[in-house]
Structures are given as C-alpha cells and as structure tokens.
C-alpha cells in the first residue's frame, strides 16, 4: 500500500510540473548594451536651449518613449527586457507595449500588444536590476522593425540607456503606449531602459553576440538604415541559409577592455552583455583600440596606462569565460586608426601586437581579419580612403559593408 501511495504521489508531482516544448526556446533577437546617462549640467549658461535628447539624459516624468527595434530572427511570441541596472532608485513602468512598425512611429494595425509583468500592467524595476515581461503572442518577422513603448508616470532619474541608438526614438507626453501614431513627439536617437527583445523561436535557432566598441556600435553609419557591420552581417546570414542565427549587437561607443569610461569595461560587462543573451552560441570580440589610444595617444592620462600584453591578457580572460560557458570565441582584428585624434606610433605598435595575438595566438576559435579588409595597402596604418568618413577611425557605410562581407558565414552553420 505504501508503494502504491508513493507511486501516486510521484505521479501527481510529475503531473504538476510545467510542460516545456522541446521544439522551441527563447532567443534574443535584438539587444543593446546599457550604460549610465550623464545628465547635462544645470548651470543655466547654455546659449541654446537643450535638445530633447539632452533633456532625456536627466530622465522622464509622465512621458512615453517609443523606440524602434530592428529584429534579426523571427519568433511566434515576444517579450522584452527592461533594465534599471544603472538606476539609483526603483523605476516605475506605468504601461508598456510592443507592436510591428509600419513607418516612423506608426504601429501596424492589429499588432499592438500590451505588456505585463506577472500579469500586472504597472510594475517596478528595482535599482540595479532588470525585469522580463510576460510573453505575448506576436508573429515577429525576421529583419523587421518593432516599436516598443514605455510609459513613465513618475520621475525616472537619469536613465539607464544605450546612447548611440542610430534609430529615431519618439518622446510623447502622458501615456501614449496604445496610440497608433505619435504625431506630436520630440525625437532622440537613443534607447532608454530597453535592453533586449526575446522571441520564441525554433529549437535550432541560436545567437551570435558582436561585442565591441564604437566600430561595432556603428558610429558614422547612416542613421535609420541598419548599416553597421553587425546589421549587414545579419542580412547576409538571413540570405545565405542561416536564417536562424540572431545577431545581437553589444557594442558601446568608447568602450575599453580594461577600464571603465563609456560604460563598464569589457571584462566587467561580459556576463551581462554576452552570457546573458538568450540562445547565445558565439561571440565576436573586437575591443582594444580605445585602450591603446587612451594609454599612449595624444593627451594620454597616466591613470589609463596599459601595454599590449595587458590588453592581450584581457582578451584571454574573455575567451576563457566564453569557453567555460560553451561559447565559441571569434577574434576580430583592430582596424587602422592612423590620423585619428589619439593616434601615435607607440599605439600603432601596440595595435600590431594585439592583432598578431588575435591572428596567430591560437586562443580564439576563429578569426575575422577586419584590419586586412579595411587598411590601405599603400599606407597600412590608415584605412582605405573610400572607407573613411573623415575621422580616420570609424568606417563609413561602405567600410562596414566590407567588414560584414569578410565574415565567414560557415562559422555559424
């Protein structure tokens, strides 16, 4: 009798467990690396009134922010991740929605979905934390645009954000999360408090994280056109039989391997921005040029001192942590920066040493040689003129396209 009762209790316990499909899982279709906003000084001395983007650095109050999110892989359901990682107080979300985008701030009719957390429309995000919303049924197409709207009923304080969004963000008064179009909205080009969008995708869908600085972020590419090298890379994957590989851009303009500055340093943010990505299997690392420029370039600060060996040691740590979590680590060589504001001959020697390690050190599982693609054969310390927008550091659209085309898609099949 006791054996029968044990079997019955075990059966009841098994029956009570949630049933998960073996055919689908959550994959991050888009994400943005987060940093803390630096509000403009309140000195009242500015000659021009602050722009909406400058005002937004101080935070929001009784305002809706509608952001354009470019997807990479498709899914049958969606949920978003809201980050208050750099907040110093709880963040109140009064309402939130996700929808397919028709154009500008206009929602495709019939696609708006109200978002909740634990079934509640209004919810808190604790300081230093993030929340993931409940899933909603929404057929998210590949390489499409979503509109994510967040309403902030109370003062948010300086926002956790991604400053170089390269897409128009719309800021409206009051709760406009359900409005089909925001006709009287201010504009910015950053993503605020929004760190990821996840989709329910087939089990064989996976993600690759592009992890780097402004060159990965897409600085100097055309806004609203998805011309960064990760965006072009995503289009190549979609058109070459690898439609189930998400490309998640976790670049931060100005980021460094070893020290904070523009966001947390690469070693500090790796767990959140790489290992925290749903479905991640690969990471492409392109970091170090800002460490070099700040260490030995013009106006170098003694507190930023670093050697090529220091940067290489940082790369080795990133590789080891990727491998410990079952990820393939792909190294990308640092592109030429001759003529840039912080260029120096000593820095060029450091760049060559770091690139030598990436190419032939044997630590990375594979290599993408961006340097070989971008450099000028007649002057290898500089990028080719047709790729240079004028700052001698960031490629233009053509340069980013050349970089994306240099990635071997077979690595992700």
Residue 20 lies in a domain: no
Shared domain for 184 and 225, answered yes or no, is no
Q: What is the pLDDT of residue 47?
A: 57
Longest dimension (CA), the chain: 87
Shared domain for 112 and 208, answered yes or no, is no
Determine contact, residues 312/353, Cβ cutoff 8 Å. Answer: yes
Range of the domain at 105: 51-196
Helix-then-strand count for the chain, H and E: 10, 24
Determine contact, residues 263/318, Cβ cutoff 8 Å. Answer: no
Shared domain for 255 and 372, answered yes or no, is yes
- Total structural domains within the chain: 2
CATH assignment at residue 335: 3.40.50.1110
Determine contact, residues 338/392, Cβ cutoff 8 Å. Answer: yes
Strands 123-125 and 91-93: antiparallel
Shared domain for 112 and 168, answered yes or no, is yes
Q: For the chain, give percent helix, strand, coil, nearest 5.
A: 25, 30, 45
Residue 320 lies in a domain: yes
Sign of CA dihedral 382, 386, 392, 398: negative
Cα distance between the two ends of the chain: 55
Mapped onto helix, strand or coil, the DSSP state of residue 6 is helix
Residue 35 lies in a domain: no
CA-to-CA dists, residue 172 to 69, 125, 161, 231, angstroms: 18, 21, 18, 28
Shared domain for 253 and 177, answered yes or no, is no
Residue 40 lies in a domain: no
Q: Distance between CA atoms of 373 and 369, rounded to whole angstroms?
A: 7
Shared domain for 128 and 277, answered yes or no, is no
The torsion angles phi and psi of 337, rounded to 5 degrees, stand at -140, 20
Shared domain for 99 and 184, answered yes or no, is yes
Residue 7 lies in a domain: no
Q: Among residues 170, 196, 222, which one ends one of the domains? A: 196
328: which residues sit within 8 A by CB, 6+ positions away? 281, 282, 283, 322, 365, 366, 411
Q: What is the pLDDT of residue 16?
A: 37
Residue 277 lies in a domain: yes
Q: Distance between CA atoms of 248 and 251, rounded to whole angstroms?
A: 9
Mapped onto helix, strand or coil, the DSSP state of residue 113 is strand
Classify burial at 280, counting beta carbons within 10 Å of its beta carbon; exposed 0-12, middle 13-18, buried 19 or more: buried
Between CA 32 and CA 38, with CA 33 as vertex, the angle to 5 degrees is 115
Output the six-digit token pair for 298: 């013009």
Shared domain for 83 and 152, answered yes or no, is yes
For tokens 């030995």, the residue is 296
Determine contact, residues 201/274, Cβ cutoff 8 Å. Answer: no
**pLDDT less than 50: residues of the chain:** 1-2, 4-20, 43-46
Closest residue by Cα to residue 273 from 126, 130, 375: 130
Shared domain for 258 and 174, answered yes or no, is no
Q: What is the pLDDT of residue 21?
A: 53
Q: pLDDT digit string (tens) for 182-206? A: 999 999 999 999 999 999 999 999 9
Residue 11 lies in a domain: no
- The model carries a pTM of 0.92
Output the six-digit token pair for 309: 């060996």
Q: Distance between CA atoms of 64 and 182, rounded to whole angstroms?
A: 10
Q: Among residues 161, 196, 231, which one ends one of the domains? A: 196
Mapped onto helix, strand or coil, the DSSP state of residue 231 is helix
Shared domain for 182 and 276, answered yes or no, is no
Classify burial at 43, counting beta carbons within 10 Å of its beta carbon; exposed 0-12, middle 13-18, buried 19 or more: exposed
Shared domain for 174 and 301, answered yes or no, is no
Residue 140 lies in a domain: yes
Q: Among residues 131, 165, 196, which one ends one of the domains? A: 196
Determine contact, residues 76/137, Cβ cutoff 8 Å. Answer: yes
Mapped onto helix, strand or coil, the DSSP state of residue 59 is coil
Shared domain for 213 and 171, answered yes or no, is no
């Amino acid at each position: 009798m006791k054996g029968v009762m044990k079997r019955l209790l075990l059966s009841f316990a098994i029956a009570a467990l949630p049933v998960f499909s073996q055919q689908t899982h959550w994959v991050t279709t888009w994400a943005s690396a987060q940093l803390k906003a630096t509000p403009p000084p309140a000195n009242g001395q500015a000659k021009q009134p602050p722009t909406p983007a400058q005002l937004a650095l101080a935070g929001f109050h009784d305002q809706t922010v509608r952001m354009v999110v470019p997807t990479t892989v498709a899914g049958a359901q969606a949920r978003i991740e809201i980050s208050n990682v750099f907040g110093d107080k709880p963040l109140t979300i009064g309402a939130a929605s996700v929808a397919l985008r028709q154009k500008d701030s206009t929602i495709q009719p019939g696609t708006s979905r109200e978002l909740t957390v634990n079934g509640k429309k209004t919810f808190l995000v604790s300081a230093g934390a993030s929340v993931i919303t409940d899933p909603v049924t929404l057929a998210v197409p590949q390489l499409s645009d979503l509109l994510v709207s967040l309403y902030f009923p109370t003062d948010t304080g300086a926002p956790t954000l991604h400053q170089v969004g390269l897409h128009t963000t719309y800021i409206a008064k009051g709760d406009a999360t359900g409005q089909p179009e925001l006709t009287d909205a201010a504009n910015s080009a950053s993503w605020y408090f929004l760190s990821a969008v996840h989709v329910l995708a087939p089990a064989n869908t996976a993600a690759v994280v592009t992890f780097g600085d402004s060159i990965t972020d897409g600085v100097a590419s055309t806004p609203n056109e998805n011309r960064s090298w990760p965006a072009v890379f995503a289009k190549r994957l979609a058109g070459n039989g690898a439609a189930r590989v998400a490309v998640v851009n976790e670049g931060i303009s100005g980021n460094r391997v070893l020290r904070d500055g523009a966001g947390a340093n690469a070693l500090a943010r790796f767990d959140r921005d790489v290992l925290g990505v749903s479905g991640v299997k690969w990471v492409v690392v392109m970091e170090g040029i800002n460490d070099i420029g700040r260490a030995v370039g013009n106006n170098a600060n003694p507190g930023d001192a670093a050697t090529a060996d220091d940067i290489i040691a940082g790369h080795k740590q990133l590789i080891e942590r990727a491998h410990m979590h079952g990820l393939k680590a792909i190294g990308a060589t640092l592109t030429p920066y001759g003529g840039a504001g912080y260029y120096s001959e000593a820095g060029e020697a450091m760049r060559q040493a770091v690139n030598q390690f990436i190419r032939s050190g044997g630590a990375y599982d594979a290599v993408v040689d961006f340097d070989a693609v971008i450099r000028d054969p007649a002057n290898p310390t500089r990028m080719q003129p047709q790729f240079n927008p004028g700052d001698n550091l960031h490629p233009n659209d053509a340069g980013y396209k050349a970089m994306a085309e240099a990635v071997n898609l077979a690595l992700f099949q």
